[in-house]
Every structure is written in C-alpha cells, then in structure tokens.
Amino acid sequence: MLFRQMIEPDSSTYTYLVHCPDTGRTALIDPVLDTVERDLSVLQELGLKLDFTLDTHIHADHLTGARRLKELTGSHIVGPAVDQLPCTDIGVREGEPFRVGNIEIHPLFTPGHTDHHHAYLIDSGTHKMLFSGDALLIEACGRTDFQSGDAATLYRSIHDKFFTLPDETLVYPCHDYEGRQITTIGQEKNRNPRLGNGKTLEEFVEIMDNMDLPYPRKIDFAVPGNQQCGACPANVPEEYRAPCVRHDQG
C-alpha cells in the first residue's frame, strides 16, 4: 500500500492518500477544496489516477474537495450512507467494508462530534491504521457543542470503537493544531487529558461542557456547502472565496 499524509494549513486538516499498487486504485480521505491543486500535483507526481474521495463527516471548518475532484478526475464521492446526500456516489456503512482495490477500509460508526460521523480502519497486514476523523485527535477530541454533537455519545464511540483496538493501532486524525502527525490508541488511553487514565463518562461530559470554545469561523457556509459535497454557497465571505473563485473559473 502506498500512503501519504498531507495538511491544509488554514484549517489544520489532514488529507490522506491511500493507493493499492496491485490494482492501481487510489482514494483520498478528507480532501479540502483549498488544496485540490496540491492533491492533483501529488497524484501526477506519483503517476496515479484518483478513483475515490472519502469523507469522515460533514465538516464545519472547511469545504471538502470531493465535488471539485470529481469534476476534474471523474472520481467517485464516497461518504456515510446515513447522511443521505444526493451528491454522494457510494454510501458506506459499518459492517460493510469498502474496497480500494485490494485494500479493505472498514467504516466505524462513531457519532458524538456529529451525529453521523464515521472513522475508517485499515489493516495493512503489519499494523492497523485508524483514520479517526474529528472524533479522536492527538491528546484531544472533536467538539460536541454544535452540529448535533453530544459528549456522552462521543465518549461511548471512543471507548467502544477505538479503545477496544490494539494499543499499537496507529491513529491518523483529521486535524492537529500543534504540528503533530500521528498517535496510537495506547498513547491516547494513557495521555489524552480528556479521555485517558480511566476518565469516567461524567468527568468527560463535564470537561466538554465547560470548554467555552469560539464559534467556528467557517461553519455557516461549510456545513451547507458540504451537504452538497463541497459546493460553494453564496454566503462564503470574501476572505474565504479565493478557492471558490479559482475553481469556478476553471
């Protein structure tokens, strides 16, 4: 398996490239509209054709690049079936592996950050790779104070779906804001200040209920835009319109 981790700096979003050399199939997990050109350049440099884009959830902090990449490459848009987005080509569900060539991607239904959030698990044969989306971050976790979030639900998702995986499972989050790239299940069980060291459900809910975080700066256009797989709504502020204008002009 060929693998790349790439970051979009404004929203600190990681996009992951997964390629099956046996079949030539390629997927991008959580692509960002702002870095579509970067992704295309990486694909060209590696001599790859993009077959799928795969989002973990309807993002509130950036517009997905799924729609634009489909327009440019003919790739299929893949996402949680429960979202029922008309623009999605393939819906994924827990218990039904999604294949990128010979690579099996196992969807894990992990609500709490959003009500339909999914993570994706790959067993490479030497280690397990968990693409945790916004549910579990590096010594942190996703917010639960908007977009149908619920702290108790997120706690159960992390404990039931993630913390039951082997400690050596590699965790690749959708975001990191401190320049870190990777963690493990064992590290998060021990070191995560919100969830680690046996934090109880009650302790976690209290932590999440008292975070007092600012209103997400892109949510008002990102959520409706991502419900259309990355379309640019009319209400995108001028300061964030550059990717929309660039792509609209071709």
For residues 159 and 204, what is the distance between their CA atoms, to the nearest angstrom? 12
Per residue in 184-213, is it b (16+ CB within 10 Å) or e — as a string?
A: bbebbbeebebbeeebeeeebbeebeeeee
For residues 92 and 73, what is the distance between their CA atoms, to the nearest angstrom? 21
Q: What percent of the chain has pLDDT over 70?
A: 98
Query: 19: alpha, beta or left, given left = phi > 0 and alpha = psi -120 to 50?
Result: beta
pLDDT given at position 125: 87
Non-local (6+) Cβ contacts of 225 within 8 A are: 63, 231, 232, 233, 236
Q: Is the pLDDT of residue 247 over 90?
A: no
Every domain of the chain and the residues it spans:
2-232
**Mean pLDDT over each residue of the chain, to the nearest integer:** 96
- CA 14 from chain center: how many Å? 8
Chain segment 180-234, per-residue pLDDT in tens: 999 999 999 999 999 999 999 999 999 999 999 999 999 999 999 999 999 999 9
Provide the pLDDT confidence category of residue 68 given band limits of 50, 70 and 90: very high
Residue 94: exposed, middle, or buried by beta-carbon count in 10 A (0-12, 13-18, 19+)?
Answer: middle
Chain segment 127-155, per-residue pLDDT in tens: 999 999 999 999 999 999 998 999 999 99
Phi/psi of residue 208, nearest 5 degrees: -70, -35
SS3 labels along 67-105: HHHHHHHCCEEEEEHHHCCCCCCEEEECCECEEECCEEE
pLDDT given at position 250: 44
What radius of gyration do the chain's Cα atoms show?
17
| Parallel/antiparallel/unpaired status of strands 170-173 and 52-54 | unpaired
pLDDT given at position 69: 98
Chain segment 113-130, per-residue pLDDT in tens: 999 999 999 998 889 999
Name the CATH topology of 2-232. Metallo-beta-lactamase; Chain A (3.60.15)
Residue 59 is given by DSSP the state: -
Q: What percent of the chain has pLDDT over 90?
A: 95
Q: How many CA atoms lie within 13 A of 116 on its CB side?
A: 17
3-state class of 117 per DSSP? coil
Chain segment 24-58, per-residue pLDDT in tens: 999 999 999 999 999 999 999 999 999 999 999 99
pLDDT given at position 245: 81
For residues 206 and 2, what is the distance between their CA atoms, to the nearest angstrom? 41
